[in-house]
Structures are given as C-alpha cells and as structure tokens.
Amino acid sequence: MAGFTESALSKKLDDLNASQQSIQTLSLWLIHHRKHHEAIVKMWAKEIQKGEEGRQLTLMYLANDVIQNSKKKGPEYGREFGTVLRKAFEVVGQKMQGEKTKRSINRLLDVWEERGVYSKSQIADFRRAFRNEVKEDTPPPKKKSRASNGVSRRKPEKAVEVKVEGKKEVRVTLSPQAPAGDPPEPEELIKALQELENSASSDAIVR
C-alpha cells in the first residue's frame, strides 16, 4: 500500500462510495496516517463543500468512522474534525433535501451526544448549524438525565483484523452496509454505532 501523499488522499476520496467496505477501508488508511490529520481533515472539508447530498452523507459516515475508531490511538482526529464540523453541518444542511438523509444526520448527532464524542454544547451548535439557525444568546436549560438501572444485553461486536501497510489493525464494524448511492437507514446506523461502545475492551482482548 502506498504511503501518504495529498494526491494519494485525493484519489482515495474520489474512489470512496457509500458501501461499508469502502468507508472502512479508507477509514483504516486515514487512521494509519493520523500524523497527517491536519491535511486530511482540510481536504475532507473541501470535499464536503463541493459534494452533493449523497456524497456528503458518505463523507459524514467516513468522518464518524475515523473519529470513533481512532480514539484509542489518540485524540488528533477528534480535535481536528471538531474545528471544521460546524461549517460542514451548515453546508450539509443547506444542500440536504431528503427526509431520510436528514434523519440519518440527526441520528448520527444523537449517537455522538450519547457516546460523549463531543460536548453537549458542541452537539447543540452542530444541530443549529445543520438547521441553519442562529445561535441563541441564552442557552436553554440542560435536562437532567437519569442513568438506567437496568443492564442491557448487547450482541458481541464484530472485530475485523485488517493489515494496513504491513501492520495489523483490529477494528469494530461501524459503517452500515449499503449499496453505493443508497444511504443506510438511520436504524442501521444506530445499531452499527452501538457495537462500537464495547470496542475498547474487545480490542484489548484481541491484542
């Protein structure tokens, strides 16, 4: 597999489609080259700006996959994407017309909030940007959440071992399977993302 160059990244982004395999393959490559996270996120943001609705949703799934699966290796991607996501959600909100894709984006934000991927204030800002709303002067009062006493049963996560430039990477299946051009159902996204919750412990066992 070739090393990192901006031309190689551009080619891989051009080849990206909405399938699970395509998103995960590129995600692994980006995580492997995380020392170039600034250039990678910058080019991702440019792709969001010029992409159409279906393309933008695929790029959002890619960002989600990278952010969540790179957390164990370092915070670089989470921080760097955090600097461009508000503008990205604003651009996506302006172009997105289909209710199905709107629900998918809102579900994605719900999962980020539940998993603490970003702070509640950041998530609220992303939602306003997506709806193209002006930030309120006085934020609404925070709702108190009550932790559930019940213990939910989770299906075993699906760990996949992949070689990236000669190094083994163990990851959790995250991006929902979908044919190119057909965004996944919101429910499929939630189910796939929920499998990531236990990925840290699973990853430690495999390694």
Structure tokens at 65: 């996959």
Task: Write out the residue range of the structural domain in which residue 21 sits.
Answer: 6-138+155-206
| 144 within some domain | no
Sole residue written with tokens 């399938």: 19
| 146 within some domain | no
Angle at 36 between CA 162 and CA 160, to 5 degrees: 15
| 150 within some domain | no
| 75 within some domain | yes
CA nearest 196: which of 132, 118, 112, 121?
112
Whole-model pTM? Answer: 0.69
CATH of the domain at 193: 1.25.40.90
Per-residue pLDDT of 74-113, as tens digits, reads 899 999 999 999 999 999 999 888 899 899 999 999 999 9
| 20 within some domain | yes
Per-residue pLDDT in tens (0 to 9) along the chain, 207 residues: 568 999 999 999 999 999 999 999 999 999 999 999 999 999 999 999 999 999 999 999 999 999 999 998 889 999 999 999 999 999 999 988 889 989 999 999 999 999 999 999 999 999 999 998 865 544 554 555 554 444 444 444 455 566 666 666 656 555 444 444 445 555 566 566 656 554 544 554 544
| 196 within some domain | yes
| 46 within some domain | yes
Number of separate domains in the chain = 1
